[in-house]
Chains A and B, each alone.
Chain A
């Protein structure tokens, strides 16, 4: 058994190395472009809408980025690169000036200019928009000339460009022509919103057929401004909900690429001919959190006080968890144990702060005894069972590890809709101990500090489910938000992260692995945010 695990890990490493190799091969201009091929891929669900302002969700946005584009773009390694804007600068602390790319046309032939940017900023402010987070960053969009736009912010925002990849630009004339000038609304008079089922972007691919939940067909945009590296002639997307069916479709060759592949199916893909798993580190950090806010836990046998308010208890929990075992046994060696709440790909990561406290059961027991719980206590743990990679199994492992220090965990694992309905703000953070995952949408540390670590005041710390609160961290969050000097900013981020990990505000576990399956001869780029872009695909 142990030998087999080791062997699989090695195969995983080889696959990862191959992925890097493939990635660099794919980046070579004109690599194997001689023969053009169709390409088919599958994901576990369908894109919820073609409207780029309808839903702020990774898969939907990643899919839309095949045919829509933002002012800025990101390369396969998430490095920022020019998109519809060729350059940008912070002309005043609160003004970012974007020089737009000239000669770009939308798929219908309309030309792209500053009016489209202004229009799109207006559109993300409409009722149905789920891009209001982005809208909230921009106080005003000012047209300087046809190819220059100023985005004005309320307060200095040093990372505005980092946040704009997913703010996709729509064509003003097209939207007006099809009366789709408002974002697709779940509730309202715009039933059958045109942009929900049709798309007209500037991106490298165009939607030629759309049957929701059945298939979506895309074709390369011959007039794309960028240099096309992909050689595919047609790309067909099919959602396949059932894991087994999706993996079977990949092995039988019905699709060329499928994701996600269950971690436990990697070996099947390795054994099958013509396909292999493609794994890498995702930028999503999985962590545990405690209710540190209430004076008495909602779900525990300890009455009259809250054990999690005692740092020694939190530390005991931390040191009782054997991350290497979780990595080897549950994540097939593919997770990255972490002490920070952010992944290495995220702006603000500092490797010096990422060493985990050692796994030490004796120490953990001693800490619990010192805190006054020599025999441990009982607590209920909330856990989703269909949201993160092997989420329920991680919770089960944590529960059994905590049992060794006498803590009896009553695990409540349920489907994501029920889990989130229970633990989020709308239900008053109804949890004592929970597992959650987070990828900062901005790929910047501030998003994590602001959403997860600040005290819950004025809409801050909305996902700080346990109510961890340190005034200094909250203050640092505000400072980081407006600090434009990158070095000073990094120091502030480090300080916030250090306080949070010293106080064990949460227990970071790991960055979960990406898990894709790819046919031989197909080259794809695996982004750390689990987005899949056709422009990096070549088929031999």
Chain B
């Protein structure tokens, strides 16, 4: 078990090295950072001098090597745009992204799973059909469009709608930023203030919608599958309550694929939060990365990409470990089953 974890962590180093290598080989094609770092009247000599100081004329392998040598010493360089250490910038942004992603993942799971169970059990119900139809929207609309639609409804049109109706049907919600945050050590949290919580609503719903519908559809099809099996029929024959059959036996057996997908999706929630962050001006890592791309801020881009590589490996590792918890057969494979054979 420990060997397994260590092996995976070693693999993550390889993944990060590969990501870094590919990233640096691509940086030649994203444009020239110098022009974004100086004013128009800066002379050609001064521009060239700056380029040399930053080592931008070196071949990408040399630049990558230099980045790695500094990175293992904990120095990820200085952001061209912010003129501050990249590690400091990322540490500042991690809380915003993680809070948003976790809330979105939480929403997706705790709304998606019950909806999936419900639609699985009442296949032809009106509400099930409604859920399925609405979920098509979640699956087919791109995230940024959903975000902008939500901003339109809850930011721009809400006043007019409420004024026309004479009562508050659509609440006015914050459409950008994180609201007030509270500093807990180095972690800044929006969970502890009213404006912070309100600001979370639109971006987290935007980010959760796709995952929610995905999970719902997955749970539904798994439920349909499981409900047909013999052991469910036996359970019913034994006179167990519907509740015990549906949740104790059926749902539990659908969980392995659900955990796999949710875990992988958590990775993509964090990685793809950048689109939601951009739309809602959410000051997380994704926004930092997108700005870094427009300004060709190489140290930030490199660090972000490698960090994301690490996140993905880590999440996959956690998912693999969760299998052991959920599926007794896996534990049995190693310990007991071997003895029986």
- Say whether, besides A239-B281, A241-B291, A252 and B30 are in contact (CB < 8 Å): no
User: Contact mask B271-282 → A, CB, 8 Å, 1/0?
Assistant: 000000011110
Closest B residue to A211 by beta carbon equals B283
| Any B CB within 8 A of the CB of A244 | yes
Contact partners of B174 in chain A: CB under 8 A: 254
A417 partner, pick from B36, B176, B278, beta carbons under 8 A: B36
Contact partners of A239 in chain B: CB under 8 A: 281
| Any B CB within 8 A of the CB of A179 | no
Pick the most buried of B51, B175, B280, B294: most chain A CB atoms within 10 A of its CB: B175
| Any A CB within 8 A of the CB of B305 | no
| Any B CB within 8 A of the CB of A353 | no
| Any A CB within 8 A of the CB of B53 | yes
User: Contact mask A441-455 → B, CB, 8 Å, 1/0?
Assistant: 100000100010000
Within 8 A of A (CB), among B4-22: none
Contact partners of A459 in chain B: CB under 8 A: 43-45
Task: Return B178 CB to nearest CB of chain A, in Å.
Answer: 7
User: Contact mask A226-249 → B, CB, 8 Å, 1/0?
Assistant: 000000000000111110110011
B84 near A191: Cβ-Cβ < 8 Å: yes
A130 near B44: Cβ-Cβ < 8 Å: no
Mark the stretch among B135-143, B152-160, B258-266, B316-324 that contacts chain A. Answer: B152-160
Q: How far is A164 from B221 in the complex, measured between Cα atoms in Å?
A: 70
Contact partners of A238 in chain B: CB under 8 A: 176-177, 281
Closest A residue to B29 by beta carbon equals A418
A451 partner, pick from B35, B41, B84, beta carbons under 8 A: B41
Mark the stretch among A182-190, A329-337, A519-527 that contacts chain B. Answer: A182-190
- Say whether, besides A241-B278, A249-B155, A214 and B178 are in contact (CB < 8 Å): yes
Task: Return A251 CB to nearest CB of chain B, in Å.
Answer: 5
A254 partner, pick from B34, B36, B175, beta carbons under 8 A: B175
User: Contact mask A50-64 → B, CB, 8 Å, 1/0?
Assistant: 010011110000000
A212 near B82: Cβ-Cβ < 8 Å: yes
| Any B CB within 8 A of the CB of A213 | yes
A415 partner, pick from B39, B46, B291, B294, beta carbons under 8 A: B294
Task: Return B311 CB to nearest CB of chain A, in Å.
Answer: 21
Contact partners of A249 in chain B: CB under 8 A: 155, 175-176
A213 near B35: Cβ-Cβ < 8 Å: no
A421 near B35: Cβ-Cβ < 8 Å: yes
| Any B CB within 8 A of the CB of A463 | yes
| Any B CB within 8 A of the CB of A222 | no
- Say whether, besides A426-B51, A459-B44, A463-B40, A248 and B83 are in contact (CB < 8 Å): no
| Any B CB within 8 A of the CB of A468 | no
A426 partner, pick from B44, B82, B159, beta carbons under 8 A: B44
Task: Return A198 CB to nearest CB of chain B, in Å.
Answer: 13
User: Contact mask B46-70 → A, CB, 8 Å, 1/0?
Assistant: 1110110110000000000000000
Closest B residue to A427 by beta carbon equals B32
Q: How far is A329 from B43 in the complex, measured between Cα atoms in Å?
A: 37
| Any B CB within 8 A of the CB of A75 | no
Closest A residue to B290 by beta carbon equals A241
Q: How far is A447 from B41 in the complex, measured between Cα atoms in Å?
A: 9
Task: Return B16 CB to nearest CB of chain A, in Å.
Answer: 24
Task: Return A187 CB to nearest CB of chain B, in Å.
Answer: 5
Contact partners of A54 in chain B: CB under 8 A: 83
- Say whether, besides A196-B84, A245-B280, A248-B152, A132 and B46 are in contact (CB < 8 Å): yes
A245 partner, pick from B50, B78, B81, B175, beta carbons under 8 A: B175
A418 partner, pick from B31, B38, B291, beta carbons under 8 A: B31
Contact partners of A417 in chain B: CB under 8 A: 30-33, 35-36, 294-296
Closest B residue to A245 by beta carbon equals B176
Closest B residue to A127 by beta carbon equals B53
Task: Return B180 CB to nearest CB of chain A, in Å.
Answer: 10
Task: Return A415 CB to nearest CB of chain B, in Å.
Answer: 7
Q: How far is A212 from B278 in the complex, measured between Cα atoms in Å?
A: 15
| Any B CB within 8 A of the CB of A193 | yes
- Say whether, besides A186-B80, A213-B287, A417-B294, A244 and B41 are in contact (CB < 8 Å): no
Contact partners of A272 in chain B: CB under 8 A: 156
Task: Return B66 CB to nearest CB of chain A, in Å.
Answer: 12
Contact partners of A193 in chain B: CB under 8 A: 83
Q: How far is A459 from B43 in the complex, measured between Cα atoms in Å?
A: 7
B177 near A244: Cβ-Cβ < 8 Å: no
Q: How far is A417 from B292 in the complex, measured between Cα atoms in Å?
A: 11
Q: How far is A192 from B75 in the complex, measured between Cα atoms in Å?
A: 13
Task: Return B53 CB to nearest CB of chain A, in Å.
Answer: 5
Q: How far is A348 from B246 in the complex, measured between Cα atoms in Å?
A: 83
| Any B CB within 8 A of the CB of A325 | no
B31 near A191: Cβ-Cβ < 8 Å: no
| Any B CB within 8 A of the CB of A86 | no
Contact partners of A25 in chain B: CB under 8 A: none
| Any A CB within 8 A of the CB of B196 | no
A184 near B41: Cβ-Cβ < 8 Å: no
B42 near A254: Cβ-Cβ < 8 Å: no
Q: How far is A379 from B126 in the complex, measured between Cα atoms in Å?
A: 61
B175 near A252: Cβ-Cβ < 8 Å: yes
Q: A238-B177, A438-B40 are in contact. List 13 more A-B contacts (CB 8 A).
A: A56-B39, A57-B39, A133-B41, A213-B291, A238-B176, A248-B151, A252-B158, A252-B172, A417-B294, A418-B31, A425-B44, A441-B41, A451-B40
When A and B form their complex, which 10 residue pairs have the shortest distance between CB atoms, in order from nearest? A56-B39, A417-B31, A421-B32, A418-B31, A133-B41, A420-B35, A252-B155, A214-B283, A240-B281, A421-B31
User: A interface vs B, CB < 8 Å?
Assistant: 45, 48-49, 51, 54-57, 130, 132-133, 136, 184-187, 191-193, 196-197, 211-215, 238-242, 244-245, 248-249, 251-254, 272, 386, 415-421, 424-427, 438, 441, 447, 451, 459, 462-463
20 contacts between A and B (CB under 8 A): A48-B82, A51-B83, A57-B39, A130-B37, A132-B42, A133-B39, A133-B43, A186-B50, A213-B287, A240-B176, A242-B281, A244-B151, A245-B175, A248-B175, A249-B176, A416-B36, A417-B36, A417-B295, A421-B31, A441-B39
User: B interface vs A, CB < 8 Å?
Assistant: 30-48, 50-51, 53-54, 78, 80-85, 88, 148, 151-152, 155-156, 158-159, 172, 174-178, 278-281, 283, 287-288, 290-291, 294-296
